[in-house]
Amino acid sequence: MPTRSPTPRLYLGCAGWSLPRMYWPDFPVEGSHLQRYGARFPAVEINSSFYRPHRPATYAKWADSVADDFRFAVKVPKAITHERRLRDCEGLVDEFLGQCSQLGEKLGCLLIQLPPSLAFDEANAEAFFTTLRDRYQGHAVLEPRHPEWLTAQAAALLQDACIGRVGADPSPLPGGGRPAGWPGIRYYRLHGSPRIYYSAYEDAWLEQFAKDLKAAPDTPTWCIFDNTASGAATGDALRLMELLRT
């Protein structure tokens, strides 16, 4: 199972490496979008894996495009989380891990996002986590969107499986803005507010968030801006990076 890193890092980036034209001057001119993105940011979240599989060779190519200390978070396919709803999906898990494992050591985390309709079922959740952990021992986080995942039983199961719970903004769950679950990893997904996926964050919010990150315990921390629909994520991530240096 994963352990706390002896040198905790902040994995700051965006959901995807598309570079809005307005921010091109902030990145190198040469290279693919991923290479240019990776020259400024230490991490990225791959969301396209949720919608469709990628060939192992594609993951290997992505890994070769970035520096040795760059890390990818990869979103678990909706075929597992939304269609099978975590049930009877051993074959799908094998297929997915066979693909994304080609990232090698640059595979930093798996993101398991659940549909709002999927309530906590202890037997089902435990069986899925066992399936996953029998095959994958790296970092993993869960983004549930049903309030029954906030129960003590769910928290205990996440602890046992060494799986963190995403802190999302905004979150449909009370207290869901703070990471929870297994304390060996913290993962923030910042969706934009007030208009989810579109709105940029106000500078005062980013300043306070930077202070919170600086004051947090020494734990590997992911901070992914998912407000990509209008390109705000790139600007927000660049600004947060600047604030963290001050």
Give the separation between CA 101 and CA 96, rounded to whole angstroms. 8
- Residue 223 pairs in a beta bridge with 12, 188
* 13 within 8 A of 237, measured Cβ to Cβ: yes
What separation in angstroms does the CA of 56 have from each of 31, 61, 163, 166, 223?
A: 22, 9, 25, 27, 26
Give the separation between CA 221 and CA 125, rounded to whole angstroms. 24
Tokens of 142: 């869960």
For residue 215, being part of any structural domain is answered with yes
For residue 5, being part of any structural domain is answered with no
Chunked in runs of 10, what are the mean pLDDT values of the chain (246 residues)?
Answer: 54 97 96 96 97 98 97 98 97 98 98 98 98 98 97 97 98 94 97 95 97 89 96 97 92
Q: Which domain holds residue 38?
A: 10-245
For residue 3, being part of any structural domain is answered with no
Q: Is 164 helix (H, G, I), strand (E, B) or coil?
A: strand
CATH number of the CATH domain containing 212: 3.20.20.410
For residue 4, being part of any structural domain is answered with no
For residue 121, being part of any structural domain is answered with yes
For residue 108, being part of any structural domain is answered with yes
Number of domains into which the chain is organized = 1
